[in-house]
């Protein structure tokens, strides 16, 4: 019944919002080049608001490109929504996808011929990376939305995996050099002993996001503590390209044994194993969590809430923690295309040519600058030397989540391909990354922290000068094993085993830890984890073979 109600609510929501989000039935003006106006329906998984009717950037897109949108924003579970769409064969013009189900179901049309004929800007944007988006049948069914760097990568941002620590903890400790796992936890514990409560609530030295698909935060840390790159669930042998998971390695046992010891001392958040995602974010937003392992895009809302509440000192800073000092960290990587996720044209689209023309026009530099910088004269301007800048009020707007939702075309820049790196004049595609703007917007807490560690950004807090990505990298965007296959069944069983045994191992009495761990390892082997590893080895070797030709 709850699922039925959720579906009904989603349908009602979409029906109630489509008209104003797409500008109603008002005809759009002809786009540049005399192209006919068009309204494009889009299914998206982005957790965004429906655009307001007076959003200035959507009006700009309507006037310049002749395009309005009807957004079908996901409500509820993606698997359920996707299944309903595929079963009914009722698709919008464009589909945002993050797995191959829509391709496998024949819901998307091949794009390569359309791109060749109508997409010079698309070809220029993707270059040889476009070939990496080909499916096994040789066709290109989607355009990835991010990970294509043009010119120089000028972003100081770091949002990938790390062991994060509250900035106030580092400050009180005198900004010490923290390298190893033991040093990291000693830092948290020492602060918690001095400050058993924060804002009237019990201090939480370390919590873990374990809910639903976010649970990779539970089992991923050992991989990074060993000094490995982020290759999803495993490690690839650079000579043989054999793929092995790290779930049962001695390194994983070392991590979970440490958590077990800390739990026995009262330093692990036991509610982490029952909390949902919203409860996790709420704890972070309270300012009483000292440390986590996560990727920043997952907990940014918690940091933003602290910032907006005037508690920026309690936001998180990343650290490239490893097991031992002799291990070289490998948290950072060079940007990679977000393969397996992007936007495709559905078989139900009435005018694929006009849609690909729109995407091509969207990829032009002047449109991308407006999407990324805002409206010139309203959101930014140039000084007498021609250099771009923002006023303090404009900077405050750009830092305000509510203002951005109302004044930027965030759904467009999240769903469709986006320029990253630099424009042709070498200014960064995100004006916030232009050094004078960066300095103007940097907060005192960050400037103090960076100065103490001799860096200028959170990215530099992590491992500097990451090596070139391996040819197969990353394996987390390889296709999952087909439904019903030995590899898929094994992975599904192992996922259940990890969710059962890893919390059990953390919460066990220290004297029982080895016994619980042995049971866990035995069950993982019985699940056929080797079958999943064999599948992944095949995928890695196939990718190496295909990409070696590029």
Q: Per-residue pLDDT tens, the chain, 550 aa: give them.
A: 333 333 333 333 333 333 333 444 444 455 566 789 999 999 999 888 899 989 999 999 999 999 999 999 999 888 899 999 999 999 999 999 988 899 999 999 999 999 999 999 999 999 989 988 999 899 999 999 988 999 988 888 899 999 999 999 999 999 999 999 999 999 999 999 999 999 999 999 999 999 999 999 999 999 999 999 999 999 999 999 999 999 999 999 999 999 999 999 999 999 999 999 999 999 999 999 999 999 999 999 999 999 989 999 999 999 999 999 999 999 998 888 888 889 999 999 999 999 999 999 999 999 999 999 999 999 999 999 999 999 999 999 998 888 999 999 999 999 999 999 999 999 999 999 999 999 999 999 999 999 999 999 999 999 878 888 999 999 998 888 988 999 999 999 999 999 999 999 999 999 999 999 999 999 999 999 999 999 999 999 999 998 886 5
Query: In the structure encoding, which two tokens stand for residue 238, read together?
Result: 């650079």
Query: In the structure encoding, which two tokens stand for residue 254, read together?
Result: 């070392």
**E-assigned strand segments in 45-182:** 67-73, 94-97, 143-144, 149-150, 161-166
Measured CA to CA, the distance from residue 380 to residue 260 in angstroms comes to 52
Tell me which of 3.40.50.720, 3.40.190.10, 3.90.70.10, 3.40.50.300 is the CATH number of domain 161-331+442-461. Answer: 3.40.190.10
Q: What is the pLDDT of residue 30?
A: 55
Domain boundaries defined on the chain: 2-154+337-435, 161-331+442-461, 475-547
Residue 307, φ and ψ in degrees, nearest 5? -60, -50
**E-assigned strand segments in 261-337:** 289-295, 316-319
Strand partners of residue 149: 420
Taking the C-alpha atoms of 183, 184, 189 and 190 in order, what is their torsion angle to the nearest 10 degrees? 60
User: Distances from the Cα of 302 to the Cαs of 184, 323, 410, in angstroms?
Assistant: 21, 28, 20
Q: What is the pLDDT of residue 464?
A: 79
H-assigned helices in 290-351: 296-308
User: Distances from the Cα of 460 to the Cαs of 26, 157, 319, 438, 443, in angstroms?
Assistant: 49, 9, 10, 14, 16
Q: What is the pLDDT of residue 16?
A: 35
Mention the CATH class of domain 2-154+337-435. alpha beta
Cβ neighbours around 264 below 10 Å, total: 16
**E-assigned strand segments in 184-257:** 197-198, 201-202, 204-206, 234-236, 243-245
Tell me if 2-154+337-435 shares its fold with 161-331+442-461: yes
Measured CA to CA, the distance from residue 175 to residue 445 in angstroms comes to 12
Q: How far apart are the first and last CA of the chain?
A: 51
Predicted model pTM: 0.82
Closest CA to 471 of 539, 545, 535, 420: 545
Q: What is the pLDDT of residue 76?
A: 86
């Amino acid at each position: 019944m709850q699922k039925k109600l959720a579906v009904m609510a989603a349908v009602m929501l979409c029906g109630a919002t489509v008209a104003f989000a797409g500008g109603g039935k008002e005809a759009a003006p002809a786009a540049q080049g005399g192209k006919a106006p068009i309204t494009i329906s889009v299914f998206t998984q982005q957790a965004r608001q429906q655009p307001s009717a007076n959003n200035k950037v959507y009006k700009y897109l309507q006037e310049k490109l002749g395009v309005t949108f009807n957004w079908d924003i996901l409500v509820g579970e993606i698997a359920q929504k996707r299944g309903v769409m595929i079963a009914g064969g009722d698709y919008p013009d464009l589909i945002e996808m993050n797995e191959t189900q829509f391709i496998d179901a024949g819901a998307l049309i091949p794009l390569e011929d359309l791109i060749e004929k109508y997409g010079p800007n698309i070809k220029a944007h993707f270059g040889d990376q476009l070939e990496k988006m080909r499916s096994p049948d040789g066709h290109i069914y989607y355009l990835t939305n991010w990970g294509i760097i043009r010119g120089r990568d000028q972003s100081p941002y770091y949002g990938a995996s790390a062991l994060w620590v509250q900035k106030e903890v580092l400050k009180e400790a005198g900004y010490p050099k923290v390298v190893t796992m033991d040093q990291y936890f000693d830092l948290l514990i020492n602060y918690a002993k001095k400050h058993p409560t924060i804002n009237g609530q019990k201090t939480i030295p370390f919590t873990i996001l374990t809910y639903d698909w976010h649970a990779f935060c539970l089992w991923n840390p050992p991989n990074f503590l060993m000094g490995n790159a982020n290759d999803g669930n495993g490690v690839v042998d650079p000579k043989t390209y054999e793929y092995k998971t790290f779930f049962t390695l001695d390194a994983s046992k070392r991590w979970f044994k440490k958590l077990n010891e800390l739990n026995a001392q009262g330093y692990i958040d036991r509610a982490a194993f029952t909390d949902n995602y919203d409860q996790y974010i709420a704890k972070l937003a309270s300012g009483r969590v000292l440390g986590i392992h996560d990727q920043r895009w997952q907990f940014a809302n918690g940091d933003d809430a602290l910032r907006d509440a005037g508690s920026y000192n309690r936001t998180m800073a990343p650290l490239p923690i490893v097991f031992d000092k002799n291990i070289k960290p490998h948290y950072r990587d060079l940007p990679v295309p977000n393969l397996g996720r992007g936007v495709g044209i559905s078989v139900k689209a009435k005018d694929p040519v006009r849609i690909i023309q729109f995407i091509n026009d969207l990829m032009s530099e002047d449109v991308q600058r407006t999407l990324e910088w805002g409206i010139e004269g309203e959101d930014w301007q140039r000084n007498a030397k021609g250099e771009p800048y923002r006023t303090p009020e404009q900077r405050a707007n750009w830092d305000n989540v509510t203002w951005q939702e109302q004044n930027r075309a965030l759904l467009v820049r999240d769903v469709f391909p986006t320029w990253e790196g630099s424009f042709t004049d070498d200014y960064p595609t995100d004006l916030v990354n232009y050094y004078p703007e960066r300095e103007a917007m940097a907060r005192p807490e960050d400037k103090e922290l960076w100065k103490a560690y001799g860096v200028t950004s959170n990215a530099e807090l992590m491992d500097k000068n990451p090596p070139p990505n391996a040819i197969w990298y990353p394996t987390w965007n390889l296709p999952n094993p087909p439904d019903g296959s030995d590899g898929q069944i094994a992975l599904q069983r192992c996922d259940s085993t990890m969710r059962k045994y890893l919390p059990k191992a953390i919460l066990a009495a220290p004297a029982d830890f080895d016994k619980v761990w042995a049971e866990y390892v035995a069950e993982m082997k019985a699940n056929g984890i080797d079958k999943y590893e064999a599948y992944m080895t095949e995928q890695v070797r196939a990718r190496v073979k295909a990409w070696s030709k590029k």
